[in-house]
Structure 1
Amino acid sequence: MDLRDIEIFLTLADELHFGRTAERLHVSPARVSQAISRQERRMGTTLFERTSRRVELTAVGARLRDDLRQGYELIQSGIAAASRSDERPEGTLRLAAMGVIGHELRPVIDAFTERHPGCAVERREFHFSDPFGALRDDESDVQVTWSPVREPDIVVGPRVLTEGRVLAVPAEHALAGEKAVSIEVLGDHTVLDLGPAVPGYWEEAMAPRRTPSGRPVLRGPVARTFHEVLTVVASGEAVTPLNAHVSRYYTHPGVVYVPILDVPDTEWVLVWLRERETPEIRAFVDAARELGSRAI
């Protein structure tokens, strides 16, 4: 498998859509399909299940994705480092994150500052209700956010964190006593709306508008900050899927977190504006690639 085929495979594994993969890599959908079919023939197995409605990784495909990703990122990091060996990062990097996810990046921050003593990291916070505003308004240089990210002006860097998901429900809710739930239960309840500034595909990745069986998911009140989310859920007006770290970091009277069984893990990635890439950003991304992704 050559490097381009690996790139096509990993991008399709992220996007799970042939058209979006082709657009992201600036190739034709036929080129993507041919590359995947060629890989499957060589391996004698199916890497993706395709239907008219969705594309999904098989178990073999998921294992191959995990095995290939780290090596591919190291290769890319090496190529990038060689091409800019004369650049020296010096200065302050503004790193934006949602809430406590910034704390989970401490190993990357430490590796970056130890390697580049002339650099410092300034931590910023952004809200999910405006996921890319801080970058575009030049309030941050790089940020960590959940994938997918499909913005033409934004570069998607390495995955740095993964975690499961939970459903936040009122303490008196019928689901509050369950050990775990299916994402299908969203079809029975009202779910929070993340607001008009949130791209539809990005919200869909966390809180789908249809259940796996096709039932519509009713949207309710709008919440623009995490504390608004907790307040609305505690009031009984809505439920909402959240990332699993909230159950360790946040308690709130009247809110219970129930694990969701049948959703993919959230993948947190580094992103930055294509037109404002700096030596500091590249050095931070290199440090993240070398450390690899970590489950939280």
Structure 2
Amino acid sequence: MDDIEIRELRYFAAVAEELHFGRAAQRLHMSQPPLSRAIQLLEQRLGVDLFHRDRRGVRLTPAGAVLLEEAGQVLDAAAAAVERTRRTVDPAERLVLVTKAGASHELLRALLDTYAARPDALPVEVVLCEVGEQRQVLRRGRADVAIVHSPYDVIGGFETRDLVTEGQVAIVPEAHPLALRPQVALADVSDVAGLPIARWPRHDGSYPPGPGPEVRTQSELAQLVSLGRTLLVIPESSRAWQWPDHVAVPVLDAPLVTTKLAWRASSRPAGLDSLLAAAGEVADRLIGHPTAARTA
């Protein structure tokens, strides 16, 4: 059997993610008939059905689900190879770090300052993204290292280094009764607050079920909290974007969150080892100063 082409995987992934040939064709900037024909030819060559097609629409078969997982890794690897190749001709050698906007702000500043003081430090380009986007940026080679938060961020396939573990807080509007409490429990957040918790998209783009509003950006979330339409529970350090009419209340029984540095297991870019050494220095300082760890 001939090798599968990157183009075929891209076509297949678009249909698998959209579950609609028309939308997938629009996304690929092509007409639907050649896309449908390309998928049929791919199925013939593989000897399996990748999609169930009936009156209810298009659904992945078990074989299609396997190929979608594998195709994502291949497409990410191809994109990363292109990005890294292009960067070799960039005369300004640098380390690219991606992080969620507003997350672990003081910790990030301490890490950058500590790294910059090292004699072998490279310039660092900071790329800011929305919740859950670091994984894709890292996998596609647009960044060398990411700041992630476990257990919220998907870190499978990456190597990691722990920085700090911290508690979580509920962000509520200042007029809400919970804002007057010195601390709350998760039961208070779910049973007493009377506000649904906002829902972020999962790594596949879908939203978890629930009554809370669907959000994609922290600015959307901040305004919804301010309007008294939602609340959220986040790591204590992820509060740089907090508005003046928000109140952060510690949630005593919320799961602990560990902030980590993550990088592709298959890549070790220049400057990473020195950055990890700087991360170790910062982590040691935070462990020695619990107050700093809580506010990092």
TM bucket (normalised to shorter chain) is 0.5 to 0.7
What SS does structure 1 have at the residue aligned with 2:180? coil
Deviation sequence 1:231-273 (CA, Å, 0-9, x none): 11122222110222355x3442542221111224321100011
- TM-score, scaled to structure 2: 0.56
Distance 1:151 1:199 in 2: 16
Larger mean CA deviation between 268-277 and 128-137 belongs to 128-137
Match among 162, 165, 178 for residue 165 of structure 2: 162
What SS does structure 1 have at the residue aligned with 2:277? helix
C-alpha spacing 1:218/1:184, structure 2 compared with 1 (3 Å): farther
Task: State the 1:221 CA deviation.
Answer: 0.7
Task: State the 1:199 CA deviation.
Answer: 9.0
C-alpha spacing 1:91/1:191, structure 2 compared with 1 (3 Å): same
Aligned to 2:274: 283
Q: How does 1:54-203 map to 2 (within 5 A)?
A: 91-100=93-102, 101-117=104-120, 119-148=122-151, 151-157=155-161, 159-188=162-191, 189-197=195-203
C-alpha spacing 1:246/1:281, structure 2 compared with 1 (3 Å): closer
Aligned to 1:292: 283
Distance 1:153 1:276 in 2: 11
Give the letter aligned to residue 138 of structure 2. Answer: L
Distance 1:172 1:102 in 2: 26
Distance 1:119 1:224 in 2: 32
C-alpha spacing 1:234/1:118, structure 2 compared with 1 (3 Å): closer
Match among 252, 262, 267 for residue 261 of structure 1: 252
Task: State the 1:155 CA deviation.
Answer: 1.3
What SS does structure 1 have at the residue aligned with 2:213? strand
Match among 213, 216, 229 for residue 221 of structure 2: 229
C-alpha spacing 1:228/1:187, structure 2 compared with 1 (3 Å): same
Distance 1:103 1:139 in 2: 24
The sequence identity of aligned pairs, in percent, is 24
C-alpha spacing 1:166/1:269, structure 2 compared with 1 (3 Å): same
C-alpha spacing 1:239/1:142, structure 2 compared with 1 (3 Å): same
Distance 2:282 2:106 in 1: 16
Distance 2:132 2:282 in 1: 29
Structure label with greater radius of gyration: 2
What SS does structure 1 have at the residue aligned with 2:176? coil
Distance 2:213 2:111 in 1: 36
Give the letter aligned to residue 258 of structure 1. Answer: V
Q: Are the aligned partners of 2:105 and 2:238 in contact in 1 as well (CA < 8 Å)?
A: no
C-alpha spacing 1:167/1:190, structure 2 compared with 1 (3 Å): same
Task: State the 1:91 CA deviation.
Answer: 2.9
Q: Are the aligned partners of 2:100 and 2:130 in contact in 1 as well (CA < 8 Å)?
A: yes
Aligned to 2:237: 245
Q: How does 1:42-53 map to 2 (within 5 A)?
A: none
Q: Are the aligned partners of 1:135 and 1:273 in contact in 2 as well (CA < 8 Å)?
A: yes
C-alpha spacing 1:174/1:110, structure 2 compared with 1 (3 Å): closer
C-alpha spacing 1:151/1:107, structure 2 compared with 1 (3 Å): closer
